[in-house]
């Protein structure tokens, strides 16, 4: 099974049409057969790991260590989701015996939604790329996938797609189970509008996600878009913890790691307006400005946007900017809390962070006024628990994950993980793009009332 790789008229429609034809057969696969297919994909990627890492490093500028860790995460989540469906844990377990008219049973089963369009992300070329979490979750659910490679990483996309396609073919997957398409904005919109596509998985910018959502909503038959977009990921440092200088190193590393090109990078750090809090702010700013973030960002557009934010931040009233040197200048912007708003509380990709020292009595009001984020972090000690009891519920209202005494970068791929959040972090805050629950995005329930068991098995073969 060769993935579709060419641009041009009709290529996307062809890929979607083949996916429609493949969908019934793939939906009928048992969980064990899906597990075997996903494990085969993981094995193929692992076997070609040296080549995959080398090509991705050339295209992205990310370090070999970072990419090897990402490759391990990619293969690990493929295997995890395969094991998850093989164990039947993706299936709805709802039976209402004798509940319907005539005393018949109602049984709810989960069925695949059909072909899924996946958009590879630039900042995780492997774990959120062509064979990343969205692709793994859709295949685990029994859905064919048409993935659009990121234009900044065409060689990585083609290499990974070829490995995945060959692995799936080796497992007897029907033609149309998996395809790669390429192109720019027009191709993205065409893919979302393709008649056979039933759902979309996307990780990228707020503007990009909104464009796909608008296109999906304007279809004659609107479809869901599961988009992960912009996230501020605020960090609140509580008074008793502010005197620990180790937090300066930890927070600065989270801001500048991978040149700040992580969706969970802290964008705002709120510290106590106290001598210890102000000293910690100084230390964070110094460590951010002094960080070695590498020679380049993922794309020229990202680098230009980062430089523009540095220039804009330097002109903000009351702002103090600590900036480093080099092609990509890491920087911290210190501002008084009364000026927070606008660009200061928006996501900015790159190694930059906003720092503010505020009276702790104002923490709850500040937290409640923030837009949706993937994460919110609280750094505290036992003496801070009274303040934390007030603050954490407010943060839970605006974030999909709360971290206590840690940093938000580094997302565990596990059952309990929720990688989502209120707008603008995601388009569907009840769903996750990381962890085993990600499979549920590409399943839908069907209630079977009084249906004989042999017909139930025809719809849900397990």
C-beta of residue 339 within 8 angstroms of C-beta of residue 353:
no
> DSSP characters for 121-187?
-SSSTTTTTTTSHHHHHHHHHT--EEEEPPTT-HHHHHHHHHHHHHHHHHTTPPTTSEEEE--SHHH
Query: Of all helices (H) and strands (E), which one includes residue 249?
Result: helix 246-256
Q: Which of 41, 59, 70, 263 is catalytic?
A: 263
Phi and psi, residue 352, nearest 5°: -145, 150
Angstrom distance (rounded) from CA 321 to CA 449: 65
**By CB neighbour count within 10 A (0-12 exposed, 13-18 middle, 19+ buried), where does 423 fall?**
middle
- Are β-strands 235-237 and 145-148 bridged in parallel, bridged antiparallel, or unpaired? unpaired
Q: Which of 410, 182, 395, 161 is nearest to 190 (CA)?
A: 182
- Is 458 in contact with 443 (CB distance < 8 Å)? no
Q: What angle do CA 201, 343, 293 make, to 5 degrees?
A: 70
DSSP 8-state secondary structure symbol assigned to residue 355: E
Which of these, 275, 252, 421, lies nearest to 353 by C-alpha position?
252
143 included as an active-site residue? no
Q: How big is the chain, counted in residues?
A: 462
Residue of 59, 228, 287, 347 with catalytic role: 228
Told to judge if 228 belongs to the known catalytic residues of this protein, a careful annotator would answer yes
Report d(CA 409, CA 253) in Å as an integer. 9
In this structure, what DSSP letter does residue 461 have? -
Q: Which residues are catalytic, by number?
A: 228, 263
């Amino acid at each position: 099974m060769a993935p579709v790789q060419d641009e041009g008229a009709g290529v996307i429609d062809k890929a979607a049409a083949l996916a429609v034809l493949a969908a019934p057969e793939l939906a009928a696969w048992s969980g064990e057969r899906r597990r075997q297919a996903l494990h085969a994909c993981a094995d193929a990627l692992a076997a070609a790991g040296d080549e995959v890492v080398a090509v991705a490093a050339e295209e992205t500028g990310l370090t070999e260590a970072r990419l090897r860790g990402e490759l391990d995460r990619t293969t690990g989540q493929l295997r995890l989701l395969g094991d998850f469906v093989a164990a039947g844990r993706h299936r709805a377990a709802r039976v209402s015996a004798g509940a319907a008219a005539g005393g018949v049973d109602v049984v709810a089963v989960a069925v695949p939604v059909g072909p899924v369009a996946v958009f590879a992300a630039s900042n995780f070329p492997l774990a959120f790329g062509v064979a990343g979490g969205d692709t793994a979750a859709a295949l685990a659910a029994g859905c064919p996938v048409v993935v659009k490679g990121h234009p900044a990483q065409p060689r990585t996309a083609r290499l990974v797609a070829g490995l995945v396609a060959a692995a799936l073919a080796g497992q007897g997957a029907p033609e149309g189970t998996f395809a790669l398409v390429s192109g720019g904005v027009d191709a993205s919109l065409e893919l979302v509008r393709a008649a056979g596509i039933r759902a979309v998985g996307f990780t990228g910018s707020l503007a990009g996600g909104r464009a796909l959502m608008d296109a999906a909503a304007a279809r004659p038959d609107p479809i869901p878009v599961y988009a992960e977009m912009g996230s501020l990921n605020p960090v609140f440092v509580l008074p008793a913890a502010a005197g620990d200088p180790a937090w300066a190193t930890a927070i600065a590393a989270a801001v500048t790691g991978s040149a700040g090109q992580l969706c969970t990078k802290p964008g705002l750090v709120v510290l106590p307006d106290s001598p210890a809090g102000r000293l910690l702010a100084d230390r964070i700013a110094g460590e951010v400005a002094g960080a070695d973030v590498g020679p380049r960002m993922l794309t020229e557009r990202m680098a230009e946007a980062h430089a523009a934010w540095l220039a804009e931040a330097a002109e903000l009233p009351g702002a103090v900017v600590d900036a480093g040197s080099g092609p990509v200048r890491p920087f911290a912007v210190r501002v008084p809390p009364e000026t927070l708003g606008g660009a200061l509380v928006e996501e900015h990709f790159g190694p930059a962070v906003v720092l503010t020292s505020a009276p702790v009595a104002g923490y709850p009001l500040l937290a409640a006024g923030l837009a949706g984020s993937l994460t919110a972090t609280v750094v505290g000690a036992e003496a801070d628990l009274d303040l934390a009891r007030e603050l954490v519920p407010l943060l839970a209202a605006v974030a999909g994950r709360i971290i206590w005494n840690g940093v938000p970068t580094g997302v565990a791929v596990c059952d309990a993980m929720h990688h989502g959040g209120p707008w603008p972090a995601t388009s569907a805050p009840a769903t996750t793009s990381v962890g085993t629950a990600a499979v549920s995005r590409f399943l839908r329930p069907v209630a079977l009332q009084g249906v004989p068991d042999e017909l139930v098995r025809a719809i849900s073969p397990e």
